[in-house]
Amino acid sequence: MEERDVWACLPHRGPRWESLVKPQLERVATREAEVTVEVFQEVLAAIEPRLAASSYLPFKGLALALPSCAPDFLRTTLPRIAQLALAVETLFERLPEQRNVGEAAFTCLETALTHEQVACLLANALFGTFGDNPLLSSFCFHTVLHNQHTATLLGILHYFERVCHTMPPGRITIRRQSLSAEQIPNWRECDASMCPLQVDLDLRIEDALDHLQVDFANRAIGGGVLRGGCAQEEIRFGICNPELLVSMLLCPPMDHNEAIVITGAERFSIYTGYTRAVKWEGDYTDKEARDEDGSVTTSVVAIDALMHPMDAQYAEELVVRELNKAYVGFCPVGGDHRPVATGRWGSGEFGGDPFLKFVIQWLACSAAHRDKMVYCAFGAAELRDAVNTWLLNAGLLTDGTPSVTVDKVYQRCIAACAELLRLAKAQPSETSLPTVFDLMCPHQPEPTLNQWRWCVAL
């Protein structure tokens, strides 16, 4: 588990803070002059001199986004954001403590921040004040301000409008959890019952209240959100819950046995579309339940799948890698067995087999004794229908309830993957190979293989 001493690298500890950075922030915070787009750009260019020589100025994305912001954004909100950035001197006088909330070989390193501390760090990212430290210099919103695809920028600016008006109560916890080899199940012998399952065509993961919500993470959490990316993780971090962005500052890239769980990040915006068609659509009032201190109980788990694994993903070693990764993320801490809301994790942009990833996530949820797995199909009716057909034909349900154990489903899955590997090698030009679902169903013919029939027994 790699460590990163962020607190020693905060902007006010840098060599230019007193002489340059702080005076520039005060220029905006005190409204020394009328705060205009030009003044904002001058301040950012003074803090980061390389901006002046780049193609980023003027910020085209900012010009496009401002008409959708509140009319007094430049006059009122931006000075308050500068005040938040300056508050780094007082808000971090006492540094946040990291504590282990895990048990035995289950390591859970947890850091808690107030919403004001998170807003302070994000305000410094907006003004680009982390540039003195090479380790943290990429935690900066310059690209977002320049990008003419403005959905992420609008999500971030709206977040600042909200917190500058009313700071949310409570705190956000960021927990990096890891398991030793001894704590990982022996998948061939795991006798936990398969958990209940729901496939929902319309539900979005972020709308699944009182669930552990899966972030289809990159190994470096946040992925390309600050570089113009707009897949599932980037939408969640940049538009829905910008407070999640602080994890990019605090968390180094994940190891194979690590996951990151963030609890308490509020949701501020809604959106439509996906990837390049995504659009910020306006304000959202978080409907999640709250703890006694006012924190929302939303928990987001970041787990990174293999990137473009091709046929190698069917090798047992890589299936186990994905199983272990999902299991580490789904392992309950403090008795939290809430259902898991997930979807096409490791598929889509990552290029994995959605059928195999479905089985892997269901196995991991079951081994972690989660109450249920809710699979959000994002409108893909054919995937929902394939899952329903598979569950019926594979004999995994009795009266609509899973009736088998993890080890049995795992063994069937591995046998199916082995057959897929064999077929891929034997017929490399075959474009219509059976799916993992097909091969896990007893007595299911595969018409593209000349009456070939195969059964993986329980």
- According to DSSP, residue 77 is labeled I
User: 42 an active-site residue?
Assistant: no
Catalytic hit among 42, 48, 234, 438: 234
Residue type, 212: L
* CA 47 vs CA 125, 133, 137, 140, 147: distances in Å: 12, 13, 12, 12, 20
Place of tokens 């001894």: 182
> What is the DSSP-derived secondary structure letter of residue 392?
H
Strands annotated E in 163-252:
171-179, 197-200, 212-217
Count CB-CB contacts under 10 A for residue 194. 21
Residue-by-residue DSSP string for 203-217:
--GGG-TTSEEEEEE
Cα distance between the two ends of the chain = 38
Burial (CB count within 10 angstroms: exposed 0-12, middle 13-18, buried 19+), residue 119: buried
Considering 42, 48, 132, 233, which one is annotated as catalytic? 233
Own/partner pairs, 270-278, CB within 8 angstroms, 24+ separation: 270/240, 271/151, 271/155, 271/235, 271/239, 271/240, 274/230, 274/231, 274/235, 274/378, 275/230, 275/231, 276/149, 276/230, 278/151, 278/230, 278/235, 278/239
Which residues, in sequence order, are CB contacts of 13 under 8 Å at separation 6+? none
From the candidates 161, 215, 258, 349, which is the catalytic residue? 215
Indicate if 233 belongs to the active site. yes
Give residue for tokens 């490791």. Answer: 346
Evaluate whether 179 touches 333 at the Cβ level (below 8 Å): no
Spatial distance between the Cα atoms of 213 and 340, rounded to a whole number of angstroms: 6
**Of 319, 325, 306, 343, nearest to 411 (Cα)?**
319
In this structure, how many other beta carbons lie within 10 angstroms of the beta carbon of residue 34? 9
Sign of CA dihedral 173, 177, 183, 189: positive
- CB half-sphere exposure, 165, CA atoms < 13 A: 10
Q: What are phi and psi of 306, to 5 degrees?
A: -65, 140
Residue 116: active-site member: no
Which residues are catalytically annotated? 215, 233-234
